[in-house]
Amino acid sequence: MKTAFFDSKPYDKIWFEPLLKAAGIEYKFFEYKLSAETARLADGYDAVCIFVNDRADAAAIDALYRGGVRLIALRCSGYNNIDFAAAKGKIRIVRVPAYSPSAVAEYTMGLLLAIGRKIPRAYSRTRAGNFSINGLIGFDFEGRTAGIIGTGRIGRNFIRICSGLGMKVVAYDPYPAADSGIDYRPLSELLRVSDVISLHCPLTEETHHIICDKSISQMKDGVLIVNTSRGALIDTGALLDGLKSGKIGGAGLDVYEEEEQYFFEDCSNEVIRDEELLQLLSIPNVVMSSHQAFFTEDALRAIAEVTVDNLRTFFQGKPLKNELCLDCREVTAAR
């Protein structure tokens, strides 16, 4: 029972090691992200455990399979980094379907308040001894309309938080939650009426660049956009154009479509060569963080517990309740 962990960080070891030892699973942590080039590190292992920026494409899966790997265990809920067609008949795939939807929803509201009330700019000023509040005017969220794209567990938790602030909430989801009481609207109408738009949908072929030039043109002037789901839901070039023109009043981003090279790493001593990322970091009405919306003790504990249970279940030859495959995936699953 041998498992190789890719893209591992110190906090992964803290939460996983006691559970892996208790389950009798042999393991090794690698700092490298999974790719076709690094897959050979897992030769001789039965399973690999990967995270959001690991790349399990066809080449990587073939290399893993040749090395003896028969299970990919995602320690996250999203699965857009897996080539399911390449894995079919070779490697089984499991994930953590839910760990702490409230953690992501709460962080989303934190980003929204930060950009709507200009909290980071105020903090920077006062730290520098500047106590002027000129240019820091925000607006009340009570009575404003929040448009939620994606109403899985996280989306519904965010709806609850928005409602608690007295906001009007409308939502779009091609798979509406039954008997939820949510005010579902066509996407075009949601874009037209929302003061705030928050993304909580999985990244699929249908949702890739759901925020683009066309959709931004349908939005209210000064709309706030928040994304704590997957970076490629937003066309970064279109977002930058909207921010520069003033069409978009602010953005709270915990994800970025080209985040793989930088997020989760300390790049403070490096030259960042991604021009679009540099532009986002330089715009005062953009608040950006490094994919940390999930990052709470409760979520890390749940991720480790479910992942180790997935591994144990596989090694024991029992049915995998959290399995994903090319034919059995549900679009609503990655929420």
Which residues belong to the active site? Answer: 230, 259, 291
Which ranges of the chain would DSSP assign to H, the alpha helix?
10-23, 58-66, 84-87, 101-116, 119-127, 153-164, 187-193, 213-217, 236-245, 275-282, 297-315
- Residue 30: what residue type? F
**Helix 10-23 with 297-315: angle, nearest 10 deg:** 40
Instruction: Centre a 10 Å sphere on the Cβ of residue 280 and count the other Cβ atoms it contains.
Output: 19
Tell me how long the chain is: 335
β-strands 323-324, 168-172 pairing: unpaired
Can you tell me the distance from the alpha carbon of 92 to that of 88, in angstroms, rounded to the nearest whole number? 8
197 φ, ψ (degrees, to nearest 5): -125, 125
β-strands 196-199, 168-172 pairing: unpaired
Torsion of Cα atoms, 300 then 304 then 306 then 311, to 10°: 160
Question: Two tokens at 247?
Answer: 């069409």
Question: Two tokens at 282?
Answer: 């330089």
Tally the C-alpha atoms within 13 A of residue 227's C-alpha that lie toward its C-beta: 24
